[in-house]
Amino acid sequence: MSGKLLRSNPQLSFGLGIVLLLVSLSLLAPWISPYDPTEVHVDRVLWPPCKEHPFGTDELGRDVLSRLIWGGRISLAVGLIAVGIATVIGLLLGALAGYYGGWIDEVIMRLVDIMLCFPTFFLILAVIAFLEPSIFNIMAVIGLTSWMGVARLVRAEFLSLKERGFVLAARAIGAPSIRIIFSHILPNAMGPVLVWMVLGTGNAILVESALSFLGIGIQPPVPSWGNMLSSGKDYLEVAYWLSLFPGMAILLAVLGYNMLGEGIREMLDPKRYKA
């Protein structure tokens, strides 16, 4: 990605910088985390930010900075994998609906309509209530309830692209449908899907944080930004740092992914390059 492109697109450069910073901190957590995030120190309970603990300690004397860094691994991993699951499902169903049309399109789009009738967050709450609240279940549930948007997006792209000359030429030489879908149409439809994936990652992080805040997401002592925020709400008057820093981390992550997604959308906009 050229420096000229980043300078001409501040949203892209700022969002990319935030995302790279958060991902780097998460990947380097075993080496840069000053303390074990689950280690209890009864003599350091609710210490305010200081030299030994720059972000303070929590109600069990655990270092907030260490838990914040390790919690980033959980929150970012949930966001990325959940979006990956949703993208795979949405790509397959959207491609089938857009390419074949007819009764296949009708069945898939009616399924999308049914799923969209339910508020996504409440649908996730209902499913999680019947499952054990583990990180794998959280990833799966968010992914399985978030594919409708990308399915509709891919379907629209396929409806437009399947009438283009290069697709008609592939059909004329007898190329099989599976090759036309995955080798000719899908690569040309990936621009909007990439934007959706980036924006969807920020949304998935927000959903995971909300679930953990409500106590049905990632369970303590495993740190995540959501359950750190939930623990801190009981100490707002005496330990503001327990809520401030996890809240800022969630805000920064969602802001970074949203700005990165908008920057990519602007970069891929053909009107941007018109005279």
Give the model's pLDDT for residue 10: 82
Contacting residues for 251 by C-beta, under 8 A, at least 6 apart = none
Rounded Cα distance, 86 and 9, in Å = 28
Give per-residue pLDDT as tens, 140-194: 888 988 899 999 999 999 988 888 888 888 888 888 888 888 888 888 888 889 9
Residue spans of alpha helices (H) in 173-240: 177-179, 190-213, 225-232
Mean pLDDT for all residues in the chain:
87
Q: Which two tokens stand for residue 159?
A: 């409806």
Give per-residue pLDDT as tens, 59-81: 999 999 999 999 999 888 988 99
Rounded Cα distance, 128 and 71, in Å = 20
Give the model's pLDDT for residue 258: 93
Per-residue CA distances from 23 to 33, 255, 257 (Å): 14, 14, 11
Per-residue CA distances from 83 to 14, 143, 156, 227, 275 (Å): 22, 6, 20, 21, 36
Structural domains of the chain in order of their starting residue, each with its CATH number: 56-269 (1.10.3720.10)
Give the model's pLDDT for residue 9: 76
Give the model's pLDDT for residue 233: 86
Give per-residue pLDDT as tens, 208-262: 898 888 888 888 888 889 989 988 888 888 889 999 999 999 999 999 999 999 8
The structure's pTM equals 0.88
